[in-house]
Amino acid sequence: MSEILIGELVKTEDANFPVLNSDITPSLNNIQEFSDEWLAIRFLYQKDKSGRGLSPRTIESYERDLKRLQIFLNKKRRKTFREADSTDAQDFIHWLENPDDEFCSSKRYKRTDKNWKPFIKMPGSASNGLSRISIRQLSATISSFYSWMVKRRYLTHNVFGEEKNAKATRIKVERHLRDDEIKAVNDYLADVDPSDDKKARVLARQRWLWFAYFLTGLRISELLTITGKDIAHNNVWSVNVIGKGRVEAEPLTLPSRFIKELIKYRSSLGLNNMPSENEHLLLSIKGTKSVTDRTSAHRIFKSLVRDVADYVKINELGINKEMLNDFPDPVSVKNIRRSSAHWLRHGFVTQLFKTTSDIATVSKMARHMDLKTTSQYSHAEAEKQQKILDQFADGFR
């Protein structure tokens, strides 16, 4: 079977499969009917009865998941999507948990890069596989893809539907930083005194990225697409954002602190207080170029949590920087070091519930499409329910 990966398809105009918010789509010309690529394109660019399709961000995420499956089936089984059986489905889940070294890279690349691999080698980790949460999300994508093929009669049954109860089980509330860990980040940002201009700019950018995420609950993809024209002030500050699963921009109210931190960041670069109409919010160290790719934003955030983890470790153990590698991380450091930018979105929702127990309001600010998603974070709501149930139960004698 020829190896033509989904992410490497040439994009051309195709009126039958338009991408939302874009004039270019992968073409089905010269692609064999019912091949992996043909099926993937039809799935990714499908439309519902109202004419709506998947958002560009969802397409990007689904494409990554399908590419992982294609690599597994192609390299490990020499099979196509439609040739996979239930054993392949089970083995695929195990592969996601513990992949072979040949499928891992030591650094992140864009999926269009020839060096891209499905997994990243994590320093000090016993396994290079995906987390349980990531596997759950990926499994949902693959199951949806196979259900779509069954519905279109390209297959007779969904072999990945049988994996619903695999180890990729649902976790009620996803990971976030605890209060003491959030305080550690804030302490680091306040205490560190950069030794030169470049380090000062690095710290300023880390600080801005931290507050940009934490004060708004913005997703990485959302933050990176915002430009000056999206920010408005009409009694309150707001920004237009195209959220997950949506195709139209919606106004998101911003706290005043967000604007203050943006001005502080831009001031450190010698720039005007507010970005110009087409200027992005995250910039290069010198402030001359926009940062718009997720990989770069991820690296900036990981550099922050690495520095914070080292800062906490040095202070807690009473050691100097040169001795960091001589001692294992204390428990207080491990969660900080493995955190990601998306944790701040979960942290944003969790912290909001410490201010209000109004689930509807929090759901709107978090831009959740379902109140059930928001209610998972509400400890106050759970306590309220328990109180009601206790009163109910105490009524019986």
Q: Is 171's pLDDT higher than 50?
A: no
Would the CA dihedral through 320, 322, 326, 330 be positive or negative? positive
Most confident of 29-38, 109-118, 119-128, 227-236: 227-236
* pLDDT at position 99 over 60: yes
Give the span between the Cα atoms of 266 and 151, in whole angstroms. 52
Please report the pLDDT score of residue 16 as a whole number: 37
pLDDT of residue 201: 95
Between 86 and 24, where is the model more confident? 86
Per-residue pLDDT of 203-222, as tens digits, reads 999 999 999 988 888 888 88
Q: Output the pLDDT for position 20.
A: 30
Rounded CA separation 151/22 (Å): 27
Q: Average pLDDT of 80-104?
A: 89
Confidence of residue 231 (pLDDT cuts 50, 70, 90): very high
Burial 235-262 (b: 16+ CB within 10 A, else e): eebbbebbbeebeeeeebebeeebbebb
Q: Answer yes or no: is pLDDT of 107 > 70.
A: yes
pLDDT of res. 2: 38
Share of the chain above pLDDT 70, in %: 74
| Res. 123 pLDDT band, cuts 50 70 90 | low
- Quick: pLDDT tens for 273-303: 999 999 999 999 999 999 998 888 999 999 9
What is the predicted pLDDT for the residue at 31? Answer: 76
Under the banding of pLDDT at 50, 70 and 90, the label for residue 1 is: very low
The residue whose two tokens read 């940002």 is 189
On average, the pLDDT of the chain sits at 79
How far is 158 from 168, CA to CA, in rounded Å? 17
Mean pLDDT: which of 39-48, 248-257, 307-316 is highest?
307-316
Model confidence at 307, pLDDT cuts 50, 70, 90, reads very high
pLDDT at 169: 40
Residue predicted with more confidence, 357 or 374: 357
Going along the chain from its start, the domains and CATH numbers come out as 6-163 (no CATH), 179-352 (1.10.443)
* Cα–Cα distance, 81 to 147 (Å, whole number): 12
pLDDT of 228 > 90? The answer is yes
Please report the pLDDT score of residue 121 as a whole number: 79
What are the CA-CA distances from residue 380 to residues 78, 356, 358 (Å)?
Answer: 51, 9, 9
pTM for this entry: 0.56
CA distance 173 to 37: 35
Tell me the three-class secondary structure of the chain, residue by residue: CCCCCHHHCCEECCCCCCCCCCCCEECCCCCCCCCHHHHHHHHHCCECCCCCECCHHHHHHHHHHHHHHHHHHHHHHCCCHHHCCHHHHHHHHHHHHCCCHHHEECCCCCCCCCCCCCEECCCCCCCCCCCHHHHHHHHHHHHHHHHHHHHCCCCCCCHHHHHCCCCCCCCCCCCCCCHHHHHHHHHHHHHCCCCCHHHHHHHHHHHHHHHHHHCCCCCHHHHHHCEHHHEEEECEEEEEECCCCCCCCEEEECCHHHHHHHHHHHHHCCCCCCCCCCCECCECCCCCCECCCHHHHHHHHHHHHHHHHHHHHHHHHCCCHHHHHHCCCCHHHHHHHCCCHHHHHHHHHHHHCCCCCCHHHHHHHHCCCCHHHHHCCCHHHHHHHHHHHHHHHHCCC
Helical axes 256-268 vs 197-214, angle rounded to 10°: 160
Note the pLDDT tens digit of each residue in 30-55: 778 888 888 988 898 887 777 777 88
Instruction: Please report, to the nearest 10 degrees, the dihedral formed by the alpha carbons of residues 170, 174, 180, 185 taken in order.
Output: 150
The pLDDT value recorded for residue 383 is: 55
More confident residue, 54 or 368: 54
Q: Identify the pLDDT of residue 11.
A: 35
173 confidence band (pLDDT: 50, 70, 90) = very low
pLDDT per position as a tens digit, 334-350:
889 988 888 887 777 77
